Copies of this chain bind each other. A is one copy, B any other.
Amino acid sequence: MSTVASTATCELCNTPGGHVVWRGEGWRAIRAADASFPAFYRLICDRHVAEFTDLSPEERARCMERVAAVEQALRQALRPTRINIATLGNVVPHLHWHVIARFDWDSHFPQPVWGTAQRVVEPPAVQRLACTLEQLDAAVAAALEAA
């Protein structure tokens, strides 16, 4: 059975969970503060549910079109090597989707961001992106607004 933490102690019920770039219809998008992966966004369900199948089919469809909108915005703005998408929730059992632009030069590629670092990246990753984080946030927000 899913372990559902009480909303009283849930980090994603009680904090935004990162730098909020968009809010709408029961979801929010945040940019994570991760120097190794600056183009790391999370789509967070405002409601405290643990698993994807705790959503209705209609909610799942809307959710994934938002995930796709974030992916498309990152692809267009950054031309990354790959987009990684995941929902894990092992540490924070409150539904959130990770959407991460990956580059063949990044610290962990081709390992997942949760794997083992492969190299030191200098100058830092954020300086290698094709646009600023402010521009990227705006592109992600616009894509979500249109989704």
Contact = CB atoms under 8 A, between A and B. Distances in A.
A56 to B, nearest CB: 10
Interface range for A: 35 or more
A77 to B, nearest CB: 12
A112 interface: yes
A47 interface: no
Contacts of A1: 79
A91 interface: yes
A2 interface: yes
A85 B52 contact: yes
Contacts of A75: 2, 51, 53
A80 B93 CA distance: 13
Given A88-B84, A110-B90, A68 B60 contact: yes
A109 to B, nearest CB: 6
A67 interface: yes
A83 B93 CA distance: 10
Contact of A82 (B84, B89, B102): B89
Interface of A: 1-3, 50-53, 57, 60-61, 64-65, 67-68, 71-72, 75, 79-91, 93, 102, 104, 109-112, 114-115
